[in-house]
Amino acid sequence: MEMIDNLEMLDPLFAVEVLSKCDRPNLLCYLAMHQDYSEDFVYSEMSKLANYSEAELGDRIVRNCVNKSHWGILEHPSITFNVINFPHSVMVQARTHRVGVSFDCQSQRYTCKRILRLAQQIEETPEDAINLIEKVFYFRAVAHYFDREGNKYFYSPSARNQDILFTQKAVLYYAEKVNQQGYAPEHARDLLTQNLRQHFVVSFNARSLLHFCDLRLPKDAQPEIRNLAELIFEHFQKWMPEVANVYAKKRMGKNLLAP
């Protein structure tokens, strides 16, 4: 199978793990496709059709539907991921995808203990402050970047350290407001920077997953959400390889909208 061109992973803590998935997605898609033209109800044929391998059924749905842009059958199988350690900004972007997608996101109200613990660790071992902060907050690596208009800029080591220091001050200020002035977590979170690492659970049907990739894998997408889409697609390749192979050859990164 043709694999996705690897993006350099921006952060070693970024991860996506599968929580649950339809065991036989191609069989489910084939049953849905077969019902479209079968005079009988397909449940009566399910045990017979289940004798075919997922690879054979995958080839059939690709040949008869996917290659003809009939993607409705892909809405039946679903897969659920745990997205780990991506910044809050990526979670906000991802949640704009609502059709065929469900989210449960870690509330910032419940990150209070993590921030207070970080503040205490910084005060106890200030020499380790940078490493401690980067486990809780995400910062881009030193590199050349460009904005949506194509304007290039260099994110230097000194600029990155300044950003980390800014976040460190925000963390200590947060702790002061909570510990000394009694701020509620939902009030104090307004003092934090948007790069707080946040975990969430997301479920896609196969069609909505590919639509997500249509929008988030092109090179003009934000690098962090491209990393997320890449990790998700790698799992999809293992789950529905026949469909993934067609997608990788015909649509990946081309700014096409899903049919």
- DSSP assignment string, 3-20: PPPPPPPS-TT-EEEEEE
User: pLDDT (tens digit, 9 = 90+) per residue, 158-168?
Assistant: 999 999 999 99
Helix (H, G, I), strand (E, B) or coil at 81: strand
User: pLDDT (tens digit, 9 = 90+) per residue, 181-240?
Assistant: 999 988 999 999 999 999 999 999 999 999 999 999 998 889 999 999 999 999 999 999
Give pLDDT, residue 112. 80
Q: What is the dihedral of CA 223, 225, 227, 230, to 10 degrees?
A: -130
- pTM across the whole model: 0.92
pLDDT band (50, 70, 90) for residue 6 = very low
Class (C level, CATH) for 15-105+199-250 = alpha beta
Q: In the chain, which segments carry CATH 3.30.1360.170?
A: 15-105+199-250
Q: For residue 202, which of 107, 110, 100, 111 has the smallest C-alpha distance?
A: 100
Angle, helix 241-250 to helix 54-64, in steps of 10 degrees: 40
Q: Side chain identity at 10, as an amino acid letter?
A: L
Q: Which residue has the higher pLDDT, 201 or 1?
A: 201
